[in-house]
Amino acid sequence: MPPKIFLRSLDESDLARTLRWHNDPALYASLGDCFRFVSTTAEAEWLRRKTSFAPDEVNLAICLRARAEHIGNIYLREINWVARKAALHIFLGAKEHRGRGLGAQAVHLILRHAFLDLNLNRVGLEVLADNTAAIKLYEKSGFALDGRLRSAAFKNGRSVDVLTMGILAADFLGGASGKMKSPGPA
């Protein structure tokens, strides 16, 4: 089954959506960063920087294939070309699209890009230890647990643990078999 989503570069025309998402405290409840209000001016500057070329990051919009609707963002950040590694960040800003397998498809597409186009060897991420839905998605995508950072985030008035996870190109590409992992059903 073809993916229900596609990835494209972020564009300055995405401002209204990214501003709404970055000002949604409910979205940040499951993300590692803390919530803080963002002005239109600050968001426009952030988007201008993220749509400009940067050698150490890839910033993409997640869009529904059927309507080309922008529903979230996915990034490869902190790209280290010598060590051939990057950090993955993702969120689905439109909550009605969460839990439908679209995040798994987006992760699969960005891992294809990381390993086949950019020739990276490792993609890592950090996830709140109590975000079981995200952890399940990452494990299903082939990520393995690397470690636990105790009290590494502050959420709802308390310190929480953060898990570090990673996937290697060989894991994603199927090792010796050469069979690439499937993104799974949506």
For residue 80, list its beta bridge partners.
Answer: 85
Query: What contacts 34, CB < 8 A, 6 or more positions away?
Result: 28, 153, 154, 155
Indicate the Cα dihedral angle 111, 72, 136, 27, nearest 10°: 140
138, 166, 168, 173: the active-site residue = 138
138 is catalytic: yes
Distance CA 67, CA 102 (A): 14
Distance CA 58, CA 118 (A): 10
Helix (H) / strand (E) containing 61:
strand 58-64
- Both tokens of 73, joined, read 């963002």
Q: Would you name the residues annotated as active-site residues?
A: 138
